[in-house]
Structure 1
C-alpha cells in the first residue's frame, strides 16, 4: 500500500509505456508515481502547436543540460539517458496533449514513438518509464 492508499503497479517496468489519460487523471497519476518512488515531471502542452515548442517544453520540464540538441534524435537519446536526473523510475505527465495532436499530428506521432522506445529501453534495464498524455475526456469511450 502506498501513502495515497492505492497501488497502481507503477513500479513494474514490464507494464510501463505510453498511455492516454484525462487531464483530471494526471494529478492522480503523478501522486501514484511519487508514491511508487518514481520521479514525476509535468509537461504542459496547452497551446503547443509545433515541434520546436514541444522540444523546448520537454527540455525545460526535464532540466535537460544546456547545449543538448533540440531535435528528435537528441530527444530520443536524452530520454533513454536521464543521467542528470537519477531516479528509480520516471513518469512524464503531458497536460493537454490534444493541442499538439490537433495542430501537428506528425510531431505528436513521433513523440509517441520516441516515448515508447524510451520505455522499452528502460524496461530492459529494470526501470519503469511511464508517459501519460492527457486528452479531452470526450475522446474516451464511455460505457453504455
Structure 2
C-alpha cells in the first residue's frame, strides 16, 4: 500500500459497534472511490497470557490468524458486498497504540471505528480506545456509535 494514498480503514474487533463502523466505512469508500481496508489488533494482553501459559509460538500465531479471520469475516458480512476490502491488516499490541502508529504512518487515511459503550466511571478511569485514538491521530477519524 502506498503510504500517501487516500484510503478508508475500518478498525474491527468483532463488536456490534465495529460492525456498524464497517458499514459506514464501506459507504464512505463507495462514495469517495477510495479503497477500503480492514484492520484489527490482536491485544497484547491475550498474547501475554498465552506466553505465560507456555503456549508454543506457532500456536499463538495460529490463534492470531483465527482471531483475525473471524473479525474480518464478520466485518465483510456486515458490509454485505457493498464494496470489497482491498487489504486486511493484522497488528498485535495495545489496540489504541497500534492504530495510532498505523494512522500516523499512513497520511491520507480516513479511519472509521466503533465506540464501545463503557460506563462513565470506567471511561474516566481507563479511557476508551476510540477516545485515545481521536486525541492522538493526525488525520480524519470517524467514530460510529451503535
Greater percentage in helix: 2
Same fold per superposition (TM over 0.5):
no
Q: TM-score, normalised by structure 2?
A: 0.32
Greater percentage in strand: 2
